[in-house]
Structure 1
């Protein structure tokens, strides 16, 4: 009997040692191959694609100093969220300062509130009061950019305004561009008489009235000298630039795009939803659907010396309706003779390579010479036309991929390729709320069930001991 007890004890010891060995082995593997999983519903601890690109391509070191109270929940949460960011680049460093214990350093940086982050790179410095991912990325861009590029929005022809906070306004566009590090301004071209020398991109957001010939001359001179223009063009718009666009390989037939499949996305047949994209730098890794409340056809033509690419198309069941009278009466039907069968192109990018030695375009304001870069053999003029402006209005800007598509387009035209991606969204760390019955169930599952298993184990051990 004694021999059997010793043998049983030896077997138990061997099993225990094997179990401990397995645990140690698994722990070593986990330690050497760190892997973090984010099971939050909103991806609270997962970096957005844009953040990853920006952090992985930092041109120089960025130092982050975080001012939190020692042991505070806010500090713990911030550390968890920053882990993936810091591990993404060896050019990012993070240190913590307790304002209560280090008043001298706190005063030096001018810190007045907890949870403030100071970002430093070279001689540049900025502060972030609300350390969300989007705000931190904005702060990083501010301290690493040596030049703040200027984007100007044309006005004077009924265009949407960046100061307008109503549904049709573009205040959300302005705010997002500024977060990406751009300076955003209005431009009344007839009054200014020229496109300022520091304009990196000119946006024409939904003109409702014809753009005057003298204005068109300035705009085309700007393009011919290597400038970039983004034209958002609504259906039935009398914008007056048709001939200019044709010289740049772009045709905009007077039409409305109809897509019956939009009903599947909860939309209207006259509000196409695009969910598949033609491969281009602007739509690189882009998977979010975009909705266009009213959309017109924009197609590429052939012009010598100009390369035009269609980069947005509606589905195969769509068509471009040219009978606008029938459309207004709600009697729209596809006419094989007059309409354009889908897929329908609704966005075109047109580029022209301009030799550095090419004579400058002459204009009354001598506006074109400002874009000459003699350090390069060529420079590229870029013109993008999209058949809708409502999709970036405040009402639709934050819908799915609308904002990202617009911002990717402006980043491409402004030659900021590291900004072309899916941007961080405002993520909320929502606490789990349980009802009384749910809490009781978890208590039973997490406490009573393990306790029952332990009691059964003790009972079994006691019975064997008594044998």
Structure 2
């Protein structure tokens, strides 16, 4: 009779321990490999080496344990063949999972592009790559099934196929479910940015509300060309790929957009012919050939000639590094601003000067300057200029918006009348004020003008957080800003809708309340946009309580305003006697620090991103522009800062301690069996 095979329990005792240790090492290597160090090439090399060593040791331990198990259950030939088939099947799994997960995320699969393969024979992207991955996955399943069947037949003579099928079904249930979800995604969801299922927390694979709003307003033909010099500028290939995915999302969201990618190196004649055919000879002359670029052009509806063009280089300007070392992709904001610039006529914004107003050029004083506000307006297709009414005598008729930011002295009556006349002709005013003690002796001169529009700015009062008086701060923002407004404090207005839906937080310093006049003048509509939270109080003037905060029992003084919600941002619009441009519109914000560089600069630690969004929305409403939404987001790469002691601890635990522990357990089991 043939000798019986050794029982499963008779396999070496260190085999299961080695398999477990190898699996732990491999998984830890994958986790460590996902960590992106903050700054410095040294830390990057250490983390990379740690991941590679851990994965290599884990893989070797797994293979060694698996081979030893096969050898203990069968002959050398069956063990070697089973090991090889298992390695091939596992490799097929890894490749398939990587591509399928990219397909689930709505991203192009970069494993099968010409940049990674080096030639175009098998270059596939998107659906093609995902379908190929499904085929590789099926092949991996068959190879693994064959390997398990062969080893099982050699190890157990009475092996039954039904048992093998049950084991395979349990092992590959997750893979089958993943393939089914991927098939649904490929079959029913277009593989383009903005139309797929975005499961990311920040929505980084979806177009922003503002981008969607800009694209929805395109009435003519928008021409977009991605000129690719990637073969010569290989370091830009990854950045160009992100821009390409972004533009495909634009095309999916805008049916009037014509998008095409042109290979400038291999199709130079095609590039010239396409540009000349579309009437873009001037844009062709601007292409330097030194870097990839995006060329945008707009042809108004019913016209044959291109009205405006713009060239956007694809370079490192589309990325920025935060103070924490995280990399941000700013491509959507840059490209959306470019679309806005070529599609829509530029609006004119004037900043009043000559009365001690905040400057748009004093960049050296971020706590006082409005330079970033001016830059944001320029990027949003506004022209920004200073205006001195003492010299000009009147507000230019082609101006769309006048900004008056915290005047230190009162405006003369002649200038106020010039502003009033311009508002009556359809102009718009954005007024930024600050609370000020002794305001009776230092008025702005605009009190009567605001009153005629139903607004009262109480500069003799200040709205502050009573938490700051007690020295208790709940959040980081409250350490630098006294008023933090959430969705509950936003009014029902188009400028606030996107902020309220997204739950974005705006922040103000000590602000003066901007109240509604009762009764309102005829034909005037007043809307209160942002209210002070319940946990704030008003003081008049910087001493007497106007409104008590929640939980505080302070008796109001005679003449104080009691038990009312205090608005700090309000708008007014006059509809009676409106001209062709519409009636005059006024926006009043009771805090100027709300708009200074320190709060708007993205790299500033005291920045409040929603402040920038609210400012641009207020400007858009004032000039009667429909693009009122959230700013295009910046896609940020998460960073884990590793200290030296953390890196050393991870190395010794993952690479040394766990394997030694596993080997120690295995040796102990073996020694006990020997005894």
TM-score by length of 1: 0.78
Change in 2 beyond 3 A, CA 1:248/1:436 = same
Task: For 2:462 and 2:629, locate their aligned partners in 1 and report how far apart those are by CA, in whole Å.
Answer: 29
Are 1:224 and 1:354, in contact at CA under 8 Å, matched by a contact in 2? Answer: no
Instruction: Name the counterpart of 1:247.
Output: 452
Q: Deviations over 1:261-307 (max 9, x none)?
A: 56323426982111131111111121321211221111001233122
Distance apart, 1:258 and its partner CA? 1.9
Change in 2 beyond 3 A, CA 1:322/1:111 = same
Where does 1:202-221 land on structure 2 (aligned, <5 Å)? 202-221=402-421
Instruction: Name the counterpart of 2:58.
Output: none
Where does 1:264-303 land on structure 2 (aligned, <5 Å)? 264-266=474-476, 267=478, 271-275=482-486, 276-286=489-499, 287-301=503-517, 302-303=519-520
Instruction: Name the counterpart of 1:138.
Output: 337
Task: For 2:181 and 2:569, locate their aligned partners in 1 and report how far apart those are by CA, in whole Å.
Answer: 53
2:630 is the counterpart of 1:422: yes
2:197 is the counterpart of 1:36: yes
* 2:350 pairs with one of 140, 152, 158: 152
Change in 2 beyond 3 A, CA 1:334/1:340 = farther
Task: For 1:90 and 1:202, locate their aligned partners in 2 and report how far apart those are by CA, in whole Å.
Answer: 36
Distance apart, 1:321 and its partner CA? 0.6
Where does 1:130-209 land on structure 2 (aligned, <5 Å)? 130=317, 132-145=331-344, 147-165=345-363, 166-167=365-366, 168-209=368-409
Distance apart, 1:351 and its partner CA? 1.3
Change in 2 beyond 3 A, CA 1:175/1:322 = same
Change in 2 beyond 3 A, CA 1:60/1:326 = same
2:249 is the counterpart of 1:65: no
Are 1:86 and 1:92, in contact at CA under 8 Å, matched by a contact in 2? Answer: yes
Where does 1:298-377 land on structure 2 (aligned, <5 Å)? 298-301=514-517, 302-305=519-522, 306-324=524-542, 335-337=555-557, 338-341=559-562, 343-355=565-577, 372-373=579-580
Structure with the bigger percentage of helix = 2
Change in 2 beyond 3 A, CA 1:277/1:6 = same
Task: For 1:23 and 1:282, locate their aligned partners in 2 and report how far apart those are by CA, in whole Å.
Answer: 42
Task: For 2:312 and 2:267, locate their aligned partners in 1 and report how far apart those are by CA, in whole Å.
Answer: 19
Task: For 1:219 and 1:16, locate their aligned partners in 2 and report how far apart those are by CA, in whole Å.
Answer: 80
Distance apart, 1:333 and its partner CA? 9.7
Distance apart, 1:10 and its partner CA? 7.3
Report the more deviating stretch, 30-39 or 346-355.
30-39
Distance apart, 1:26 and its partner CA? 4.8
Change in 2 beyond 3 A, CA 1:312/1:29 = same
Give structure 2 stretches of 5+ with no counterpart: 1-152, 190-195, 273-282, 300-305, 319-330, 546-551, 601-606, 660-675
Give structure 1 stretches of 5+ with no counterpart: 357-371, 449-467
Are 1:154 and 1:187, in contact at CA under 8 Å, matched by a contact in 2? Answer: yes
2:273 is the counterpart of 1:51: no
Distance apart, 1:142 and its partner CA? 1.2
Report the more deviating stretch, 68-77 or 210-219.
68-77
Change in 2 beyond 3 A, CA 1:14/1:80 = same
* Matched residue count: 417
Report the more deviating stretch, 90-99 or 391-400.
90-99
Q: What secondary structure is seen at the aligned counterpart in 1 of 2:618?
A: helix
Q: What secondary structure is seen at the aligned counterpart in 1 of 2:391?
A: helix
Q: Deviations over 1:322-354 (max 9, x none)?
A: 033579xxxx99551254345211122111113
Task: For 1:161 and 1:10, locate their aligned partners in 2 and report how far apart those are by CA, in whole Å.
Answer: 81
Report the more deviating stretch, 108-117 or 388-397.
108-117
Task: For 1:109 and 1:406, locate their aligned partners in 2 and report how far apart those are by CA, in whole Å.
Answer: 37
Task: For 2:162 and 2:337, locate their aligned partners in 1 and report how far apart those are by CA, in whole Å.
Answer: 63
Change in 2 beyond 3 A, CA 1:216/1:84 = same
Q: What secondary structure is seen at the aligned counterpart in 2 of 1:184?
A: strand
Instruction: Name the counterpart of 1:408.
Output: 617
2:599 is the counterpart of 1:396: yes
Q: What secondary structure is seen at the aligned counterpart in 1 of 2:599?
A: coil
Instruction: Name the counterpart of 2:260.
Output: 95
Give me the CA root mean square deviation. 3.5
Task: For 1:441 and 1:62, locate their aligned partners in 2 and report how far apart those are by CA, in whole Å.
Answer: 57
Are 1:348 and 1:386, in contact at CA under 8 Å, matched by a contact in 2? Answer: yes
Q: Deviations over 1:397-420 (max 9, x none)?
A: 2413111111110110011122x1
Q: Deviations over 1:148-194 (max 9, x none)?
A: 11111111111111122121111101111111111111110111001
Distance apart, 1:36 and its partner CA? 3.5
Distance apart, 1:440 and its partner CA? 10
* 1:256 pairs with one of 462, 468, 477: 462
Are 1:47 and 1:84, in contact at CA under 8 Å, matched by a contact in 2? Answer: yes
Rg larger in 1 or in 2? 2
Change in 2 beyond 3 A, CA 1:103/1:221 = same
Task: For 2:375 and 2:466, locate their aligned partners in 1 and report how far apart those are by CA, in whole Å.
Answer: 34
Distance apart, 1:213 and its partner CA? 0.4
Instruction: Name the counterpart of 1:359.
Output: none
Are 1:314 and 1:344, in contact at CA under 8 Å, matched by a contact in 2? Answer: yes
Task: For 1:16 and 1:231, locate their aligned partners in 2 and report how far apart those are by CA, in whole Å.
Answer: 71
TM-score by length of 2: 0.56
Distance apart, 1:29 and its partner CA? 2.2
Are 1:292 and 1:390, in contact at CA under 8 Å, matched by a contact in 2? Answer: yes
- For CA contacts below 8 A with separation 6 or more, give which structure has more relative contact order: 1
Change in 2 beyond 3 A, CA 1:304/1:431 = closer
* 2:295 pairs with one of 101, 118, 134: 118
